[in-house]
Amino acid sequence: MSVETTTESAPAPKKGTNILLGLTLLGLLLFLWLLLGLSTNAFWSPNNISNLLRQGAMTAILAVGQTFVIITAGIDLSVGAIVGFTSVIVAWLLQAGVPLWAAIILTLLMGVAIGAFHGFGIVRMGLPPFIITLATLTSLRGIGLLITNGSTISINHEGFTNFSRTDFLGVPSLFWMVILVAIPAFVFLHLSRWGRYLFAVGSNAEAARLSGVNVNRTIYLAYILSATCAAFVGLLLASRIGIGNATQAEGWELQAIASSVIGGTSLFGAVGSVHGPLLGAFILATINNGANLLNVNSFWQRIITGLLIIVIVYFDQLRRRGSR
Amino acid sequence: MSSLEELSHRHEDEAKLAESETVPRGAPILELRGLQKKYGLVEALKPATVTFLAGEIHAIVGENGAGKSTLIKLLTGVIRRTAGEVFWCGKPVQLATPTEAIKRGINAVHQEVVLCAHLSVAANMFLGDEMDRYGLMRKGAMERAAQAVLDDLGFLLPAGALLGSLTIGQQQLVATAKAAMRGIRFLIFDEPTAYLTRQESAQLFRLIRRLRDQGVTIVYISHRMEEVFELADRVSVLRDGTHVGTRLISETNDNELIALMINRTIEQIYHKEKVPIGKTIVETKGLSGPGFEDVSLTVRSGEIVGLYGLIGAGRSEFALGLYGRQPLSAGEVFWDGKKVDIRNERDAMELGIALAPESRRDQGLCLNLPIGLNINLPIFKRLSSGLVIRKGDEAANADQQIRNLSIKTPSRRVLASAMSGGNQQKIVIGKWLSHGARLFIFDEPTVGVDVGTKAEIYRLFGELLKKGAGIILISSYLPEVYELSDRLHVFRGGRLVASHDHRAASHEDVLTQAIGI
Ligand SMILES: Nc1ncnc2c1ncn2[C@@H]1O[C@H](COP(=O)(O)OP(=O)(O)OP(=O)(O)O)[C@@H](O)[C@H]1O
Ligand SMILES: [Mg+2]
């Protein structure tokens, strides 16, 4: 056939815009840091920076897991509750004298099980993701409170609780955990075929199915990854605060979703990356941290966060629609 | 007064506007001067100057991606022009929003049906223009009025049914009825017959002529030359976004139009490769499932088996059943002579079956993902080592299919949604060409595809056959299945009612068997 393709007038392909958003967010993050560095003395102090990295680390890991689910056009509202719940589980196991390595593995497996249950509810019972994860959100908090009898379990394992305070190469261990999660997550989402399947299922599940994609397995996988990330964060939190408490991490699911969305993930599915939610999480953490340093009323922090979500997502929409 | 005319005079203000803007039959009603549309850097429509005359049927033809749908979207205010002027009844107009276009009496039935699947037929027909009293909807009245219009038009459709329960063709008729109801003066059809059965097409043609006789100007876009010659008074040709000419239908012919469209001639569209027929690949015995019953047929290597029937005759359902998408209730499938149990799509693919489904939007494409990902989706397993994708192979396969099918895109990274209808269809086909299957099921493969590419797709069929594959070709377009099939099966009401060897029966016989009279 003789149809010539007009190569020279190529519209900016998707990949380019993806990187563009990443750079914009990175720019915003650096801008915030610069601004805070200029307006406060404390911001660039080593203490504050490690504090900021620790704060952001946990949301960042949750946001990466959340992003997998949102790419399949789903949502996982239970991640905050899983964090609280698994902090109880690990405290409980350690209290019962289970060795540390076993307690960690069992806690992570708990995350796998919760994620598999979400997959089961969606795939086999046909429940909407919003509903099944909302249901586990409330029940997990309830189960955790039953286990602890409404109070907290303190953790007396020195090695475990010290971990969150240690540094490695001058960077907090908690931040290294983000890298530990982000690298395999990147390989999974952007370089592996299962990553492609997540996008395909989120875009058009029927087309994916007829193309031989195991849609059910893909959905199980997304929710298991999200819940396991949350269980991992549960471990980190327990280490940081030295107790297991089912009411911890209240509202973190919304932080995770917000980070993901700020990072360019579309709630309609099929659009998202790994670096986006990471940047989103640290932007949110920076705003909280900066607001504290500047003594901004914490009520205002919430308002600012809300406005920021609107502004960033609005500009992202404008950019996407730009070619209309 | 018919119910259609009654309804179309519902809005006094619009009627007044219409009265103030009239031209006599045969005078220019809509003039485009240097109308242009760019998407970013892509010039979908180069400055075009076209005049439409009041009361004519004006066909627009052109290859896939030539800019036909773009032109229509500009006229109906769906997208905004980059440059140029539009004159309506001699006065310059903006046509910036769909509401403005509708108020002037310009309406369109778009290529892809844009209605709400979860609402009833009647609710869709009155969408945005509901009948109400004191702010409350008059559901019963709307349903009765809608039914009257449908009956008046001769469309056998229930106004109370959910739109989503209808076939794509029937939905297209609803969209047509909706457009015809709105006091129109200028009505555009973008490939309306692509999903229609023959009778439905006939009903539609009657409606179009009736509207023309009432003085409505009709713009008719189609890839089917015979329809253009049957209906139109004049025809305009677009090529690569350029308006290359307008002809009186009485003063032109197929060959001239095709030459204008693609700048070369095609000797033979239905070119069937002569391939020696080999062993039986698949045999079904008494296969039954949702929508089809007791279907027994065989496909041998090197053979095209055509399935003809009206829409809803159970051909697609049979294909989905064989492919493992729908559970089978009875019957057996033999693959290479061995009985097999196909429980899901993956089992089917494993055996070597490929299915290019009927609806590109619902089943065929991930629209908001890149073309490349769509093409590679069925074969990512082959394109990766372990779980990790080999990027080079991924790109190479996508680019190869884009070239093979001359998909008109600057890059494999462009989203499928930015492609024209016909180019989207080519992606659906391209997905399966590198799958290495032995049985290919193509369900309506050439819907919305231009003449040149049709010929190219048929040539690709020939290549698959030469490699020893067998093909099941499902089509509602009789000339296509008739000319290409080594064996033609006719479906009616979910059953296989007749079978013919290549060209053994006449068109009329096949049609009669499909309709069942
Ligand atoms: N939203 C969009 N963004 C970018 N390019 C687009 C968009 N929509 C259409 N195009 C491009 O504009 C050109 C013209 O498209 P158009 O849909 O008008 O073609 P068409 O003549 O209707 O073709 P077909 O017969 O396949 O329906 C194509 O090259 C197409 O890729
Ligand atoms: Mg089109």
Domain definitions of chain A by residue range: 46-322
Residues of A in contact with B63 (CB under 8 A): 3
Task: Read off the pLDDT band of A190 (50, 70, 90).
Answer: very high
If you take atom 24 of ligand 1, which residue's CA is the nearest one? B64
Q: Is A126 on the interface with B (CB under 8 A)?
A: no
Residue nearest to atom 28 of ligand 1 (CA): B65
Residue A199 contacts B, CB cutoff 8 Å: yes
Looking at the domain that runs over B265-352+437-517, which CATH code has it been given? 3.40.50.300
- Provide the pLDDT for residue A319: 66
Mean per-residue pLDDT, B142-157: 86
Measured in Å, residue B112 CA sits from the centre of ligand 1 at 13
How far off is chain B from A44, nearest CA to CA, in Å? 40
If one compares A77 and A295, the residue with the highest pLDDT of the two is A77
- Pairing mode, strands B28-39 and B42-53: antiparallel
In terms of pLDDT, which residue wins out, B329 or B261? Answer: B329
Interface residue B266 vs chain A (CB under 8 A): no
Distance B238 CA to ligand 1 centre (A): 12
- Among A204, A209, A266, A321, which would you mutate to test the B interface (most chain B Cβ atoms within 10 Å of its Cβ)? A204
pLDDT over 80 (residue B129): no
* pLDDT higher than threshold 90 for residue B308: yes
Binned at pLDDT 50, 70 and 90, residue A219 comes out as very high
Kindly write down the DSSP assignment for every residue of B65-122, as one continuous string: TSSHHHHHHHHTTSS--SEEEEEETTEEE---SHHHHHHHTEEEE-SS--S-TTSBHH
Q: Enumerate residues 6+ apart whose C-beta is below 8 A from A15.
A: B413
Whole-number Å distance, alpha carbon B423 to ligand 2 midpoint, is 9
Q: Does A194 touch chain B (CB under 8 A)?
A: yes
More confident residue, A323 or B297: B297
Residues of B in contact with A13 (CB under 8 A): 370, 411, 413-414
Query: What's the pLDDT score for residue A12?
Result: 38
Q: Whose CA is nearest to atom 18 of ligand 1?
A: B67
- Cβ contact (<8 Å) for A271 and B368? yes
More confident residue, B249 or B137: B249
Q: B270 in contact with A at a CB cutoff of 8 Å?
A: no
Residue B7, C-beta contacts closer than 8 angstroms, at least 6 positions apart = B145, B149, B181
**Domain B3-261 coded CATH 2.60.40.2480:** no
The answer to whether B262 and B451 are in contact (CB under 8 A) is: yes
A191 touches chain B (CB under 8 A): yes
Nearest alpha carbon, ligand 1 atom 2 = B418
Could you tell me if B99 and B107 are in contact, meaning their C-beta atoms sit under 8 angstroms apart?
A: no
List, in order, residues 6 or more apart from B235 with CB less than 8 Å away.
B58, B59, B60, B61, B228, B246, B247, B249, B252, B257
Is A182 in CB contact (< 8 Å) with chain B?
Answer: no
Task: Choose between B5 and B57: higher pLDDT.
Answer: B57
Q: A140: closest CA among A122, A103, A113?
A: A113
**Cβ contact, residue pair A204, B366, below 8 Å:** yes
Give the model's confidence band at A310: pLDDT under 50 very low, under 70 low, under 90 confident, else very high: confident
Predicted confidence band of residue A7 (pLDDT cuts 50, 70, 90): very low
Inter-chain CB proximity B363 and A193 less than 8 Å: no
Over residues A96-103, mean pLDDT: 94
A211 touches chain B (CB under 8 A): yes
Q: How many whole angstroms separate alpha carbon A137 and alpha carbon A131?
A: 10
Residues in the ligand 1 pocket, defined by CB under 6 Å: A 323; B 39, 42, 44, 62, 64-70, 111, 408, 418-423, 448, 450
Q: B3-261 with B265-352+437-517: one CATH topology?
A: yes
Nearest-atom index, ligand 1, CA of B420: 17
**pLDDT given at position A168:** 87
Interstrand relation of B28-39 and B83-88 (parallel, antiparallel or unpaired): antiparallel
* Residues in chain B closer than 8 A to A322 (CB atoms): 40
Using CB atoms, pick whichever of B349, B406, B410 lies closest to residue A9.
Answer: B410
CA separation for the pair B478, B220 (Å, rounded): 21
Query: Taking 90 as the threshold, does the pLDDT of residue A17 lie above it?
Result: no
Q: pLDDT at residue A16 above 60?
A: no
Q: Which residue has the higher pLDDT, A222 or B98?
A: A222
Answer for the pair B40, A11: CB distance below 8 angstroms, yes or no.
yes
Does B12 score more than 80 pLDDT?
Answer: no
Nearest to B346 among A3, A187, A212 (CB): A212
User: Interior CA angle at B66 toward B61 and B68, to 5°?
Assistant: 55
Q: What is the mean pLDDT of chain B?
A: 88
Residue of the nearest CA to atom 5 in ligand 1? Answer: B418
Residue A6 contacts B where some CB pair is shorter than 8 Å: yes
- B41 in contact with A, Cβ within 8 Å: yes
- pLDDT in the model for residue A6: 34
Q: Does the distance separating the beta carbons of B366 and A203 come in below 8 Å?
A: yes
* Predicted model pTM: 0.85
Q: What is the pLDDT of residue B299?
A: 96
At B13, the pLDDT band (50, 70, 90 cuts) reads: low
Distance from CA of B147 to the nearest CA of A (A): 33
What are the chain A neighbours of B378 within 8 Å (beta carbons)? 211-212
B366/A194 CB distance under 8 A: no
**Antiparallel, parallel or unpaired: β B234-239 and B57-62:** parallel
- Between the alpha carbon of residue A117 and those of residues A111, A112, A123, A218, A254, the distances in Å are 10, 9, 10, 14, 21
A210 vs B43: CB contact, 8 Å cut-off? no
Level-2 CATH architecture, domain A46-322: Orthogonal Bundle (1.10)
Chain A contact for B345 (CB, 8 A cutoff): yes
Ligand nearest to the CA of B37: 1
Residue B367 to residue A196, Cβ atoms within 8 A: no
E-state strands within B134-279: 136-137, 186-190, 217-221, 234-239, 242-248
Q: Do residues B403 and B396 lie in contact, with contact meaning Cβ atoms separated by under 8 Å?
A: no
Q: pLDDT at position B300, please?
A: 96
Q: Which of B445, B443, B441, B462 is nearest to B453 (CA)?
A: B445
Name the residue ranges covered by the structural domains of chain B.
Answer: 3-261, 265-352+437-517, 362-436
Q: Which atom of ligand 1 is nearest to the CA of B408?
A: 29
Q: What is the pLDDT of residues B388-446, one digit of tens each?
A: 999 999 999 999 999 988 888 899 999 999 898 889 988 998 999 888 889 999 999 98
Residue in A with minimal Cα distance to B363:
A207
pLDDT, one tens digit per residue, over B230-271 is 999 999 999 888 999 999 999 998 888 888 887 766 666 777
3-state secondary structure of B381: coil
User: Which of A1, A194, A213 faces B406 most closely, judged by CB atoms?
Assistant: A1
pLDDT at B313: 85
Most confident of B167-171, B222-226, B333-337, B500-504: B333-337
The answer to whether the CB atoms of B414 and A13 lie below 8 A apart is yes
Angle at the Cα of B507 from the Cα atoms of B503 and B512, rounded to 5 degrees? 125
How many degrees, rounded to 5, is the angle at CA A324 between CA A4 and CA B80? 100
The CA B478 to ligand 1 mean position distance, Å, reads 28
B367 touches chain A (CB under 8 A): yes
Suggest the residue from A210, A214, A319, A320 to mutate for an interface test with chain B (most B CBs closer than 10 A). Answer: A210
Among the bound ligands, the one closest to the CA of B410: 1
pLDDT of residue A324 exceeding 70: no
Q: Looking at chain A, how many residues does it have?
A: 324
Check if the beta carbon of residue B441 is closer than 8 Å to that of residue B470: no
Range of weakest confidence among A13-27, A44-58, B227-241: A13-27
Report chain A's C-alpha Rg in angstroms: 21
| ipTM (interface pTM) | 0.85
Residues B367-392: tens digit of each pLDDT: 999 999 999 999 999 999 999 999 99
Q: Which residue has the higher pLDDT, A248 or B515?
A: A248
Q: Looking at the predicted structure, is the pLDDT value of residue A320 above 80? A: no
Beta pairing partners, B136: B133
Q: Which tens digit of pLDDT belongs to each residue from A112-169?
A: 999 999 999 999 999 999 999 999 999 999 999 999 988 899 998 888 998 888 888 8
How many contacts, defined by CB atoms under 8 Å, are there between A and B?
A: 122
* Tokens of residue B501, six digits: 């060897």
Averaged pLDDT for residues A266-279: 92
**Looking at chain A, which runs of residues are DSSP E strands?**
153-154, 167-168, 171-172, 243-244
- Residues B150 and B207 sit within 8 Å (Cβ to Cβ): no
> Considering only CB atoms, which chain B residues are within 8 Å of A7?
410-411
Highest average pLDDT, of A188-197, A307-316, B185-194, B268-277, comes from: A188-197
Tell me whether residues A194 and B368 touch, CB distance under 8 A: no
Give contacts of A 243-282 with B, CB under 8 A. Answer: 268, 270-271
Which atom of ligand 1 is the closest one to the Cα of B448? 25
